[in-house]
């Protein structure tokens, strides 16, 4: 994957939970609700059809405001890669003004944990900059920390 | 698939060639060159990586002008469905200004031929209208006629 620093944001973290568990958390609605937005924001609903072109819809509650996020999965490599985006709705319906495409890559760490790389790709440098200014690194970083803690509590 | 007449263009044709052959023609570069643009325009190059997220690139020669079209496959159901778009480049790189998403659905006709449905989905009514005004029905229709004749010559 040839990333472009002008349009792509990415970071890598080492998590103290096995890859299969990270995958399960990321692909199961009841788990998603426990880490997917930085607290105190919450996920009110999550609807997943885990196949290429299938829906990945979430409803967030941010300071009392309900925000619907609709998207689809573009690529699913079991336990290793999950790609999703708001660029399409179900049935490959193109969104009028898509924002980003998210790529999660998981691999085994030496200590039994997971090497976790999250990437957000954008259509323009402006969209990328806006995402960074919205707090991409802090927000997605917090989500990973919450995911790690939640996954450990399941173990 | 819930189509929207404001943003989607679609038509269905019955072809006198079996589905497996239609599929082979649509997914093999050497065949693509023989039908993919209305004559006298030609395809100078075609580069295919037939997997989800893989490239579907073509170079057309239109009245002496070379036009590069880059895209990827979104969904591949062997012999039955092919979805591709200029919305992404390889590695799920979002295009700055994507135009359309193409969906080909093939099913068996009673007479041993193929029921062929081609659909183009767009981000906006304006893009859809532009595509129709560019001659979507005539152009894609001619391509299907060329495909049918070419496939028959292989049989």
Confidence of residue A1 (pLDDT cuts 50, 70, 90): confident
| Helices and strands (H and E) in chain B: how many | 4, 10
Q: How far is B50 from chain A (nearest CA, A)?
A: 14
Dihedral sign from CA coordinates of A135, B74, B88, B104: negative
- List chain A residues with CB under 8 Å of B87: 87-88, 94
- List chain B residues with CB under 8 Å of A7: 93-94
In chain B, what are the domains? 8-154 (3.30.530.20)
Model pLDDT for residues B112-136, shown as the tens digit of each residue: 999 999 999 999 999 999 999 999 9
CB B15 within 8 A of CB B35: no
Q: Distance (Å, rounded) from C-alpha A102 to C-alpha A122?
A: 9
Burial (0-12, 13-18, 19+ Cβ within 10 Å), A92: buried
Model pLDDT for residues B12-62, shown as the tens digit of each residue: 999 999 999 999 999 999 999 999 999 999 999 999 999 999 999 999 999
Model pLDDT for residues A126-144, shown as the tens digit of each residue: 999 999 999 999 999 999 9
Whole-Å CA distances, A9 to A18, A98, A134, A141: 25, 16, 12, 12
How many CA atoms within 13 Å lie on the side-chain side of A91?
10
Q: Distance (Å, rounded) from C-alpha A44 to C-alpha A34?
A: 10
Dihedral sign from CA coordinates of A75, B131, B140, B47: negative
Q: Is the pLDDT confidence value at B72 over 80?
A: yes
Q: Distance (Å, rounded) from C-alpha B53 to C-alpha B74?
A: 6
Given an 8 Å threshold on Cβ–Cβ distance, is B87 in contact with A87?
yes
Q: What's the pTM?
A: 0.95
**Check: complex ipTM more than 0.95:** no
């Amino acid at each position: 994957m040839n990333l472009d620093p002008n349009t792509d944001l990415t970071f890598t973290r080492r998590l103290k939970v096995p890859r299969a568990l990270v995958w399960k958390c990321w692909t199961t609605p009841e788990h998603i609700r426990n880490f997917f937005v930085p607290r105190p924001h919450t996920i009110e609903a999550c609807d997943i059809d885990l196949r290429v072109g299938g829906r990945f819809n979430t409803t967030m509650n941010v300071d009392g405001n309900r925000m619907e996020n609709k998207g689809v999965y573009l690529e699913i490599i079991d336990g290793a890669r999950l790609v999703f985006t708001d660029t399409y709705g179900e049935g490959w319906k193109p969104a009028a003004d898509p924002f980003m495409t998210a790529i999660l890559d998981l691999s085994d760490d030496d200590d039994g944990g997971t090497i976790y790389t999250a990437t957000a790709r954008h259509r323009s440098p402006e969209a990328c900059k806006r995402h960074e200014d919205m707090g991409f690194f802090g927000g997605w970083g917090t989500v990973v920390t919450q995911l790690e803690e939640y996954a450990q509590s399941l173990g």
